[in-house]
Structure 1
Amino acid sequence: MSLRMRMLALIGLFLALLAVAGAAVMVANARDAVRAEMASALDLGIAVGQAEAGRGAVPDAVAALDRLGLRHLRFIAGDAPAEPLGDHDAGHASTPGWFAELIGVAPQAHALTGADGHVLLTVVAEPQDEVAEVWEDMRDLALATLVAGLLLLCAAWAAVGRALAPLARIEAAVRHLRAGRYEVGPGDGLAGGGVPELARLGSGIAALAGELAAAGRENRRLGQRLIEAQDRERRDIAREIHDELGAALFAIKVDAGRILRLSEEPKPEAFISERVEIAGRARAVLSMAADVHRLSRRILVRLRPAMLDQLPLGEALSGLVDEWARREPEVRWSLDVAEDGAPHGIDGLDEVLRLTIFRLAQESLVNALRHARPANVSVTVRRRTDRVEVVVTDDGPGFREGPGAAERGGLGISGMAERVRALGGELSIGPNGGQGTRVAACLPCVPAGLEGVA
């Protein structure tokens, strides 16, 4: 049953109960009123009957009393009624018998006796006329109540329908949201139609639609930037392979071919010079092979830091900082790993969380050296009971303040921000006091299964 029908059913039930209660009160009051009326009429009939009976013959007294037309009274000569009490008047046959029984007031009779004790006259008070009047009043009132109830139900039908009309538009707006169409608002019928509760609901749905639209746009923007980052990474790797690895392999090929030719066609007169050339080209091949090895390791580290598979996170971070210290010896580097009450420290974290912490430190160090050229760089990783805090600071030129700084940064910063948000954390990038840049991330220590969240 719809809400509209339920509300109308409740209103109808209330009206029916009100009508039943009113009818019960009216019947009770009518019963008391009829009884009082019959008692009063009987007293009047007794007084008039005694006066008339004392004047003359009883038949003449009965005729005289009947000519008076006293209401509710009937006079009978003697003590035996000529007909059953209450059955002589057919003028009120329209009164239902069940209603007369509901009133429950029977005719009342009183016998007047003479000096010798003989019954002269019987006075009968009959309630049919009074019951008929009560029935007519209740019938008219019931008809008026029925008409008023129908009008009230019609008005309630229209009012409830108008009040609930925004629900259909809100339902349509929710269907649009489920379908991925977020362009809804008060103009689409979410104002509530003047009902405060529906207006708040519509405003909430409109606000939710706006937030979902903004989130969708942000996701598309981040997806585009991530695709650009992937393409850029692939171009860089392809360029390194082509420029360095390809050139090194070509040089190895040339030297190896020359060595092969010299070994296959020995000339006795040039034996010493050929051995010298073979040794030189062999050393060149070894040098090129070492360069290829270093290049392959650099590419593999960019794709996935192998040290995380071999070392704990603390040692991997220490190795990362030491590597940068060897590359940039003029910069002062510091690493602080603190474990405040954590039973297993940072090494007991989930694999995805450990990789995220390593990537945050790696990308922050790259950005510090690429954009800031600082003299001091500090990395702090602090394990709390329920979260991990990663802070990287430098004393370079500084980072531009303002909301959304992480999103306005480069592709590496956007990737960090997206990764941190995917894990339910927060990333902030801003100035480090008076000078420099501070990158701070707070990640929740969720249990195993984090890969599904990421």
Structure 2
Amino acid sequence: MRLVLQLVARLLLIVALCLGAATMWATFDAYRSVDHATAASAQRVAQALQGLYWHELLLRSSRMREHLLPVPEWRTLETVKLIAPGVCVEFQPATAFERPLCGQSQGIGRTPPRWFAAIVPTFLGSHAEVVRPVSPRATAAGTVVATPDEAASISLAWDYILNVIDVALLMAAAIALLASLAIAHTLAPARSIVTALQRMARGQYRTKLPRFRSMELAMIGRAVEALGSRLKEATEQRAALTRRLIEIRDDERRALARELHDEFGQNLSAILAFANTIETANAQQDHNGIAQDARMISQATHHLMASLRDALKRLRNPLPEELGLEASLVNLVDSWRSQSATQPTIQLDLKGDLTDISGPAATTAYRVAQECLTNALRHGAAREISLHVERCAGEDGALLIRVEDDGGGDAERVARSAGFGLTGIRERVTAAGGSLSILPARRGLSVAATIPLAA
């Protein structure tokens, strides 16, 4: 998942948690506000009845204080205005058949769902009645008892929660949207860093990044640029070292070819001459099979000399230095075709002007074609092999060598192979600044190498 989406998802989770916490707080506050409204109603009614009590005391001074009670006129519209909605107030001691005086409870709030009406009293408890004396100095004046209506209190709480949630949802949506835009804008420069890393993966190590305002992104950008510079230097040093090693190896091959030709070639020729002499001397009277043994020695010597010639062809100076790339590739294909009639069909496809290609590029191309043909012929069951060599257009063009066969094979296993032949051509192509790929073909494998001519 992209980092922007992860941060937005976490932001939405935080907003959801905050919204849930706000809902719980609103529920608790709305539910407990009924207790405050009940206490306030009791206090207001008690103060009103206290005023009525002392007024009656002054008008009827002949009555005993302990027998002075508020007259029934306290149940008036003015008193109802002092009672909060959903709260009922009664006077104690109450007269016979006296009902509590309640505030408006019909149509208060919105009808809550059943689960809300069942959960809230369970977790927050029920409301307690509030008792206030009419007069603190005259205990015989009676008390005011205020009791909240449970259904009305739950409806008020639900209506309060819905109002709070509406505002909270709008704020949460606005915060999530604005924060998402801010996060996306802040992380937008990360695409430049990713693009630079992708270019480095393709070999373009020295990549200039724009200046970032964020200190963290600026540090990452500087680290990426420094890494690219170090990779470029290391790659150049490795390529130079690889080229030097290839030169040393070619010198060793030429020296080994001379030693094999001078020592083994002369000795094998001497052995062949001795065998022929022995066979000729005993051709008339071969009582002990000496002529037959000499003939077998001659055959074995011929086989060794043929093997030696093949080895010398691979070890001596590559043909591109002598004949040019195009002629050497034609000679390479013709030599494989002439070895046996049972060999698979080899098709050579040359495109572009190859006459002026020489030096390390020509040698590398010839070695790649030689090794790939050898592997396809000796290690596969191919019936048809195609060698495609093309010079790409452009001032700083490149040379494309592709060898395909229909002998099957696992491209991934071959790419992971650590054989000397494949490792050698990979080193040569890398030293020349090119690239090598091994991919599955339609019925076999495809080995492609790109060699830049400018390098």
TM over 0.5: no
TM-score normalized by structure 2? 0.39
Indicate the structure (1 or 2) with the bigger Cα radius of gyration: 1
